[in-house]
Copies of this chain bind each other. A is one copy, B any other.
Amino acid sequence: MNLNEIGAKAKKASYLMAGLGISSKNEGLMAVCDALTDEKNIDRMLLANDTDIKNAVAANMKESLVDRLRLTKDRIHGMAEGIRQIISLDDPVGEVINMKPRPNGLLIGKKRVPLGVIGIIYESRPNVTADAFGLCFKTGNSVILRGGSDAINSNKAIVSIIRETLSSKGLPEDSILLIEDTSRETVTRFMKLDEYVDVLIPRGGAGLIKSVVNNATIPVIETGTGNCHIYVDESADIDMAVRIIENAKTQRLGVCNACESLVIHSSILEQVLPLIEENLKSHGVELRMDERALFVCPDNASATEEDYSTEYLDAIISVKTVDSIDEAVEHINRNNTGHSESIITNDYNNSRYFLDKIDAAAVYVNASTRFTDGFEFGFGAEIGISTSKLHARGPMGLEALTTIKYVIYGDGQIRE
């Protein structure tokens, strides 16, 4: 199948999907759960995954990446469990809000409807395939998946199982389509398939997202790059600062809501930095500091301007000293990616100032940046964490996969 055929099939299926009620969609998802945990299907997926793993090992892929690629029986049950959680969420589609009569008698309301066709471009983890399908199907959308070439055999197996299941239930199998040609040319052409695809959601590193933004003619929602800061204000509770920084940096290293950079008020630097240093070093974290911080804790690397704009996704953190909250806010707004930022403070006015002035999806007072997450926010599963300002910002739950249309009931009204 070429890209235009894939686009046309997905579009056609999207009209069928938009007409499905919540019971049909949940029954379809339940059938997919059952199919994914069927022993014969598990064997199919493990066999396909084994090919991907062998190819990866032969290509000398880093062990941490090979691990992300690996499917196990447990991980497959985890995929099914993810879909089961999606089944339990409320379906936002179909609700009509703000329906009001106009003086001329027209009755105008806003109806929540699926977006149509959603394109997902992602990297190695094959569980994204089932996750993305579950969220898109629940909201009545078709999804076109373009996973990484490393995971192509695993993805083919997962998508085949889902398509067979849908087809056996009389549901539109073309609501999930996989682009099997993982060449760079094809993905670039996919980004321009605006005739058929309504939105493109890249999930992966900064390089992938930049490439999608630069090439796509389809509207893009950027997700998941997080150069997140914690600002330790002069009035901070020092124990709390150390504890929150430890959590935000070390609880999980390779995630977008991990803290990558500290900003510390100069008047508290001598008290707090040695404690932070000791704590982070006990977790094997390297600190890169500006000159004033190095004066207090000399046994560290020095930070360059590039450090301040880098999302490490690793056991490294940068440290910047400032003389005022204004300078902290200015530094953060200049270097951040609009993801999550936190202030540690006991000063009422500074907490308000930080919440107001920081330009990011999630702004915290006295809490770890690690909470920016669909489950932690109480929305359930998410398709990603948007760092875009349009359409959706922060953790994207089901509603982010919908749009509205105006429905207007008349009885012959014409415009004067």
List residues of chain A with CB under 8 Å of any chain B CB.
15, 18-19, 100, 102, 106, 108, 111, 115-116, 194, 198-199, 213-214, 217, 219-221, 237, 240, 243-244, 246-248, 251, 333, 351, 355-357, 359-368, 370-372, 376-378, 388-391, 393-394, 403-415
Contacts and interface: CB of A to CB of B under 8 A. Distances in A.
Contacts of A393: 403-406
13 contacts: A102-B378, A108-B377, A198-B389, A199-B389, A219-B220, A219-B390, A363-B408, A365-B410, A366-B410, A370-B414, A393-B406, A394-B404, A394-B405
A362 B406 contact: yes
B371 A415 contact: yes
Given A390-B219, A406-B394, A415 B247 contact: yes
Contacts of A244: 412, 414
A11 to B, nearest CB: 9
Nearest to A194: B213
Nearest to A199: B390
Give the oligomeric copy count: 2
Given A244-B414, A389-B115, A405 B363 contact: yes
A44 to B, nearest CB: 36
A108 B181 CA distance: 43
Given A115-B389, A390-B390, A415-B370, A410 B364 contact: yes
Chain A contact residues, majority secondary structure: mixed
A339 to B, nearest CB: 11
A413 B237 CA distance: 13
A282 B364 CA distance: 65
Contacts of A237: 412
A389 B390 CA distance: 11
A362 B415 contact: no
B414 A355 contact: no
Contacts of A219: 219-220, 388-390
Nearest to A354: B407
Nearest to A245: B414
Given A367-B106, A371-B106, A391-B391, A251 B414 contact: yes
Q: Which 10 A-B pairs have the closest CB atoms?
A: A367-B410, A247-B414, A370-B415, A391-B391, A390-B391, A389-B403, A362-B406, A366-B410, A367-B413, A364-B408
Nearest to A407: B355
Contacts of A356: 18-19
A407 B367 CA distance: 11
Nearest to A344: B412
A325 to B, nearest CB: 14
A246 B404 CA distance: 29
A371 B104 CA distance: 11
Contacts of A408: 362-365, 367, 371
